Amino acid sequence: MLRTWLLGAATLLASLAFASSARAEDKVLNLFAWSEYVPQAVIDGFTKETGVKVNYETYASNEEMLTKLLSGAAQYDLVQPSEYTIEAMIKKDLLAPLEKTKLPNLKNLAPEFTKLGHDPDMKYCVTWMAGTVGIVVNTDKVKDDIKGYKDVFQPKFAGKIVTLDDPRELVTWVMNTKGLPINDVNDKVLAEVKPTLAEWMKLIKIYDSDSPKTALENGDVILGVVWSGEAAKLYQKDKKFKYILPAEGAHMFIDSLAIPKGAPHKDNAHAFINYILRPEVSKLISDEFPYTNPNAEARKLLSPEELANPASYPPGSPKLELFHDIGKASADVDKLVTDLKSGG
């Protein structure tokens, strides 16, 4: 009788221990996102409120994120792809549909960020931040009137330029100067782009998608083509850093949060998305990473200085285009840039 009781008690204790472990494991969110894009204050605030520990792993390109996700090397609950990658992931059935009843704060998004071409019904993703890719000039060092890509990639600026380490961006800049539709990428287009791109790449000193502002801030380079949020931070520190949207046309990107189909903690993922949609939380993101905030209610909390930053909120009506999924041509773009970097 005693032995039976002891066995029962042991079984109960083991069950309780397992349940406790499972509950602890459930208090986890595996976030795979761009570097320098998620404020620690946001992560800490979410953990303090929910008890959910956020494991934040970073990547420097959409292609890097997708490769690791497809490898199965790790299981992620949330990823942060750009518009064309969302489009590709939807086609490949890699994303879980959102449960919108768990996202009451969706109402805070500005209407123009709720019906976008890559996910028109907002079935799979919620916009995190938007931005542009443009030119930053240290006006103390550069007295030229820089208006577009051709003005940047001149021999006299050799070794003084920083750009994103992003093959599609590099190819697109040349396409823009030639009047080629940026989403129509094929062998003929790449052959036309190659000679110009080869000359441009000889002039670039630093490729950096993580923190291209650093080289400008340190004086290692005097101009470059970078993310708008990086340019906005430079402008906040010193107005000598001028941001210019290229006259030939510029890429507007939309980065979103999405839940991979096999995510182990989907409830926590929904809770995090809903959390960052709060105006006061979304403001924290803009304060630290001043891209274009898609949250209409959060924008009401931004200062006049933040809203007047030309890199965060470009004035006028610039020519902006979104990327679309280009399928297999993406690998051809990567190969072209890789070959040119290696002298091919």
Tell me the average pLDDT across 61-81: 93
pLDDT grade for 73, boundaries at 50, 70 and 90 = confident
Give the H/E segment covering residue 284.
helix 279-288
pLDDT of residue 343: 83
Mean of pLDDT over the chain: 93
The gap from C-alpha 110 to its chain's centroid, in whole angstroms, comes to 19
Q: Model confidence over 181-201: pLDDT tens digits?
A: 999 999 999 999 999 999 999
- The sign of the torsion formed by the CA atoms of 292, 293, 294, 296 equals negative
Asked if 82 and 255 count as a contact pair (C-beta separation under 8 A), the reply is yes
Global pTM exceeds 0.85? yes
Q: Range(s) for CATH 3.40.190.10 in the chain?
A: 2-130+254-301, 131-252+313-341
- Within a 10 A sphere around the Cβ of 56, how many other Cβ atoms? 16
Asked if 177 and 249 count as a contact pair (C-beta separation under 8 A), the reply is no
Tell me the average pLDDT across 135-149: 98
| CATH architecture of the region 2-130+254-301 | 3-Layer(aba) Sandwich (3.40)
- Give me the count of residues in the chain: 344
Tell me the average pLDDT across 267-273: 98
Give the H/E segment covering residue 216.
helix 213-218
Asked if 38 and 31 count as a contact pair (C-beta separation under 8 A), the reply is yes
Burial of 274 (0-12, 13-18, 19+ CB in 10 A): middle
Joined together, the tokens standing for residue 154 give 């001149």
Amino acid letter, 59: Y
pLDDT of residue 206: 98
Helix axes 83-91 and 62-71, enclosed angle (nearest 10): 30
CATH number of 131-252+313-341: 3.40.190.10
Taking 80 as the threshold, does the pLDDT of residue 99 lie above it? yes
Q: Model confidence over 289-330: pLDDT tens digits?
A: 999 999 999 999 999 999 999 999 999 888 899 999 999 999
pLDDT of residue 284: 98
pLDDT of residue 3: 39
pLDDT grade for 344, boundaries at 50, 70 and 90 = low
Q: Model confidence over 198-236: pLDDT tens digits?
A: 999 999 999 999 999 999 999 999 999 999 999 999 999
